[in-house]
Amino acid sequence: MSNRHDYKVNLEVFQGPLDLLLFLIKKKKIDIQDIPIASITREYLQYLEQKNSINLEREGEFLFMATLLIYIKSQMLLPREEITNEEDPRRTLVNRLQEYQKIKAACSVLKEKEENQKLKWQRASLPSSKWREEEEFMEVSLFDLAEAFFSLMKRKEQENIQILPSKEVSLEEKMKEMRNYFQKHSYLDFFDYFNQQETIEEALISFFCLLEFIKTKTVMAVQEKPFHPIKVWFCNE
């Protein structure tokens, strides 16, 4: 058992089944164009067997590749004359491996460049405060746009959940406030004004005030047609 632990290579070090396959091919110095499917399948399965339990979410891909390998192996066992060269059952897999090999090569190039570039320090922002304000501008992509919107919505959501401490608004204060509003604007849009109120309580108090104003004929509520916006006019005699 302990022997087994010695050569145990953690499955986690592999980026995926292709990575593991490529590792086995390289280790055995196999020609990628002519993979001995039977032995590579055996090796591959040995790696999977090292795991006591399979985490389907992470290792499902490895299992899927195992099935594929077994399938290819069974195809290879078919009588020779039935397989022409173009129909080599390994073809698709070889193509994928070759493409993946290129990605790995590109990775090594990028890794080296990353290493080199990390030595050259660049400024993340400008020191001079004179230009900093200008620097706030950025080039944006679709992701930034969508992120801006959905972050905003999320923020909004959280705001709504918050229970606002009810602001104590007295009738007198509201009367005064509304009177000032009328004097300044000469008229008031019913819906707009109520929408601006911070709490329902405050909106209700405003409504009472408005009724009071109408009763004392300080203002006049006008609706041109049914369902049209209600405008409230200040009666200036």
Partner 1 sequence: MNEQLKNIIESLIFISVEPLSFEKIKNTLSEFSEEQIKKAIQDLRKNYKTSQKGIQIIQVGGGYLFSTKPQLDPWIRRLMQEEKKNKLSPAALETLSVVAYHQPTTLSEISALRGTDSAHSIKTLLKKKMVKIVGRKKAPGKPLIYRTTDKFLVYFGLNSIKDLPSSEELNQIIEEGKNEK
Contacts (CB under 8 A) with partner 1, residues 33-62: 61
The whole-angstrom separation of Cα 195 and Cα 6 is: 71
Closest C-alpha among 93, 36, 91, 27 to residue 64? 93
Q: Which stretch binds partner 1 (CB under 8 A): 14-22, 37-45, 71-79, 201-209?
A: 14-22
Is there a contact between 51 and 24 (Cβ–Cβ < 8 Å)?
A: no
Q: Which stretch binds partner 1 (CB under 8 A): 35-43, 72-80, 115-123, 202-210?
A: 115-123
Provide the token pair at 215: 């009763």
Provide the token pair at 190: 């019913």
Q: Which of 34, 135, 173, 201 binds partner 1 (CB under 8 A)?
A: 135
In 3-state terms, what secondary structure has residue 24?
helix
Taking the complex as a whole, the smallest distance from the CB of residue 67 to partner 1 amounts, in Å, to: 14
The whole-angstrom separation of Cα 58 and Cα 84 is: 36
- What are residue 28's phi and psi, to 5 degrees? -90, 5
| Residue 107 engages partner 1 in binding (rule: CB under 8 A) | yes
| Residue 212 engages partner 1 in binding (rule: CB under 8 A) | no
Q: Which is nearer to partner 1, 61 or 212 (CB)?
A: 61
Q: Which stretch binds partner 1 (CB under 8 A): 73-81, 114-122, 197-205, 212-220?
A: 114-122
The whole-angstrom separation of Cα 113 and Cα 120 is: 11
Contact set with partner 1 (CB under 8 A): 15-19, 26, 29, 61, 65, 96, 99-111, 113-114, 116-128, 131, 134-153, 156, 159, 189, 191-192, 229, 231
